[in-house]
Amino acid sequence: MTKPVDLDPDDWDAFRAESHRALDLMIDYLRGLRERPVWVPPSDEAKARFDRDLPREGRELSAVLADFDRYIKPFATGNIHPMFMGWVQGAGTPVGMIAEMLAAGMNSNCGGRNHIAIDVERQIAKWMAQAFGFPQDASGIFVTGASMANFLSLLVARDQAYGDKDVRLNGLCAREGQLIAYASREAHNCVRQAMELAGLGARHLRLIPSDGNRRMKISALRHAISADRAAGFRPFLIVGTAGTVDTGAVDPLDRLADVAHSEDMWFHVDGAFGALAALSPALKPLVKGLERADSIAFDFHKWLHVPYDAGFFLVRDKDAHRRAFAANAAYLSRAPRGLAAGDTWPCDLGPDLSRGFRALKAWMTIETFGTKKLSECIEQCCRMAKRLEGWIAKSDAFVMRAPVALNIVCFGVKEDDDGSLAREIVMELHERGEAAPSLTILDGVPAIRAAIINHRTHEEDIDAFTIFLDAALRRARKEPHDFGALVEPHGPGKTRLSED
Ligand SMILES: *Cc1c(COP(=O)(O)O)cnc(C)c1O
């Protein structure tokens, strides 16, 4: 007789002890964050560890955890560190870490069916509808990220434009009239990619010029729409951005809603991080008009620090949302009672069938901190951006490259026309593990971009950042320097400061 086999521990008590050690390891890791460099490149030894043959035999969990500790944990992206300002990345929270463990323990499949995880996800949709001023029966689902949510918005808007399920059956070639979408020049590239993926073609996305504050120009938008209509095209979608990825600019959403309304077009807002400013009473006016969108894409994993990944797609008209994705597969048929009960399942609202319990980590984050504390962290980021801007404005060497709308500061070095010093500074800061801003290109010139999104980034970190910047610039210019005297650690257990 074959011995029964399963994947549970042989010794649950030993497993418990090992698991508690793993938990302690990660709590120590989070607690000691500031003492470590922002980023360390993966060592050759670590890389070699992940270039082995597929194992036939397993090992003790303790040995595998030791490998995690040695080869994986030290070489993270760094986005949880207070000195990380690169790109736009959330910082996570210890609460989110626990939520991930609980969700993994349940291992719920949230494609559908009659279990509580689906209600938790619906709760999140209702909460966000409330936060953004959408109707309470708005429809929403978790997706990987705003890129996916923006893509889904395009599919819903496309089907809505054609007014039936015809495209789902017959494809686009059977339709008359090329659909045209509009977004500002500052829009995230995933909007362009969504046009490609949806089969509409990137060339049918009009990138509308922006003004001096990098907000979409309404006159140019109106002009483009009428020119397209005159040429026989079908304008169908306006994508406004709440918080552009480069500079944090917010399009004039109210006026975009007016245009969409008068032109009978779908109005979608890419609010990946910026939409969440709506949680702050002080910042909410900046995203005025969001409440008029037909759909919103945003990320819990950015400004709400829910662990990756946790994008969300919210649609005002639940029927339009369902029409774009729902199907009738025999193995997914609904029952009046039992586990297969329920009307709309998440799998009716997007292309994913099997999906994890992302709602738990969002729910636990919001329940634990409340929107008050979460929005205070958002406001703090904007204050830190102003602090950095203030320093740059007074600096002899550095210069602002774009206005600060929310939390992103783009700046460069004076008389560094090709941006070579900016580039050098950013790479230096990364390699020394001091800070992690990123680079972007503004008006053809590389700019240093500090996207301050981390709840852990405080005044002392911004001040340390300015010192690191000065030092990195001197090194980039190969000027003699002695920063040992200038740099004072700003408190025990704080960010590591360089000594050279
Ligand atoms: C980050 C971002 C995206 C992409 O979101 P992902 O979650 O990375 O897919 C889209 N638009 C804007 C404005 C962003 O900041």
Nearest CA to ligand 1 atom 7: 145
CA of 213 to the centre of ligand 1 (A): 20
CA of 144 to the centre of ligand 1 (A): 11
At residue 342's C-alpha, the angle toward residues 338 and 346, to 5°, is 125
Ligand 1 pocket, residue 190 CB under 6 Å: yes
**Phi and psi at residue 49, to the nearest 5°:** -60, -25
Task: Write the class of the CATH domain 108-356.
Answer: alpha beta
CB atoms within 10 A of CB 426: 24
pLDDT at 165 over 90: no
Which CATH fold would you assign to the domain 367-497? Aspartate Aminotransferase, domain 1 (3.90.1150)
- In contact, 305 and 90? CB cutoff 8 Å: yes
Measured between alpha carbons, how far is 295 from 317 in angstroms, rounded to an integer?
Answer: 8
pLDDT at 1 over 90: no
What percent of the chain is modeled with pLDDT above 90? 90
The stretch 414-427 carries a mean pLDDT of 96
Q: Could you tell me which residue, 251 or 170, shows the higher pLDDT?
A: 251
CA of 147 to the centre of ligand 1 (A): 6
Which regions of 256-404 does DSSP assign to beta strands (E)? 266-270, 295-299, 311-315, 398-400
- In contact, 198 and 158? CB cutoff 8 Å: yes
Measured between alpha carbons, how far is 436 from 434 in angstroms, rounded to an integer?
Answer: 7
**SS3 letters for 273-313?**
CHHHHHHCCCCHHHHCCHHHCCEEEEECCCCCCCCCCCEEE
The stretch 448-460 carries a mean pLDDT of 98
- In contact, 399 and 412? CB cutoff 8 Å: yes
Measured between alpha carbons, how far is 69 from 48 in angstroms, rounded to an integer?
Answer: 15
Domain with CATH 3.40.640.10 in the chain: 108-356
Ligand 1 pocket, residue 296 CB under 6 Å: no
Ligand 1 pocket, residue 88 CB under 6 Å: yes
Q: Could you tell me which residue, 466 or 329, shows the higher pLDDT?
A: 466
Ligand 1 pocket, residue 242 CB under 6 Å: no
**Which numbered atom of ligand 1 lies nearest the CA of 150?**
10
3-class SS shares of the chain: helix, strand, coil, % to 5: 45, 15, 40
- In contact, 250 and 243? CB cutoff 8 Å: yes
**SS3 letters for 165-193?**
CHHHHHCHHHCCCCEEEEEECCCCHHHHH
pLDDT at 498 over 50: no
- In contact, 380 and 452? CB cutoff 8 Å: no
DSSP 146-160: HHHHHHHHHHHHHHH
- In contact, 198 and 155? CB cutoff 8 Å: yes
From 89, 192, 270, 290, the mutation candidate for ligand 1 (largest count of ligand atoms within 8 A of CB) is 270
From 154, 188, 214, 440, the mutation candidate for ligand 1 (largest count of ligand atoms within 8 A of CB) is 188
Half-sphere exposure of 154 (CA within 13 A, CB side): 28
CA of 299 to the centre of ligand 1 (A): 7
Spatial neighbors of 283 by CB under 8 A, at least 6 apart, are: 277, 375, 378, 379, 382, 406
Q: Could you tell me which residue, 1 or 371, shows the higher pLDDT?
A: 371
CA of 372 to the centre of ligand 1 (A): 24
The stretch 6-12 carries a mean pLDDT of 97
CA of 272 to the centre of ligand 1 (A): 5
Measured between alpha carbons, how far is 357 from 359 in angstroms, rounded to an integer?
Answer: 5
Ligand 1 pocket, residue 421 CB under 6 Å: no
Confidence at residue 481, expressed as pLDDT on a 0 to 100 scale? 54
Q: How far apart are the first and last CA of the chain?
A: 68
Measured between alpha carbons, how far is 483 from 254 in angstroms, rounded to an integer?
Answer: 50
Domain with CATH 3.90.1150.10 in the chain: 367-497
Q: Tokens 């990123």 label which residue?
A: 438
Pairing between β-strand 234-241 and β-strand 266-270 as defined by DSSP bridges: parallel
| Dihedral sign computed on CA atoms, order 180, 182, 187, 191 | negative
Ligand 1 pocket, residue 271 CB under 6 Å: no
**SS3 letters for 115-146?**
CHHHHHHHHHHHHHHHHHCCCCCCEEEEECCH
pLDDT confidence tier of residue 485, bands split at 50, 70 and 90: very low
Whole-number average pLDDT of the chain: 94
- In contact, 306 and 329? CB cutoff 8 Å: no
Q: Tokens 């736009």 label which residue?
A: 88
CA of 268 to the centre of ligand 1 (A): 14
Measured between alpha carbons, how far is 466 from 468 in angstroms, rounded to an integer?
Answer: 5
CA 471 from chain center: how many Å?
Answer: 31
Measured between alpha carbons, how far is 301 from 361 in angstroms, rounded to an integer?
Answer: 10
CA-derived radius of gyration, the chain:
25
The stretch 343-353 carries a mean pLDDT of 95
Ligand 1 pocket, residue 312 CB under 6 Å: no
Q: What is the DSSP letter of 337?
A: S
CA of 295 to the centre of ligand 1 (A): 15
CA 450 from chain center: how many Å?
Answer: 15
**Which numbered atom of ligand 1 lies nearest the CA of 244?**
13
- Reported as a single tens digit per residue, the pLDDT across 271-323 is 999 999 999 999 999 999 999 999 999 999 999 999 999 999 999 999 999 99
Measured between alpha carbons, how far is 418 from 201 in angstroms, rounded to an integer?
Answer: 33
Whole-model pTM: value is 0.94
From 147, 216, 305, 449, the mutation candidate for ligand 1 (largest count of ligand atoms within 8 A of CB) is 147
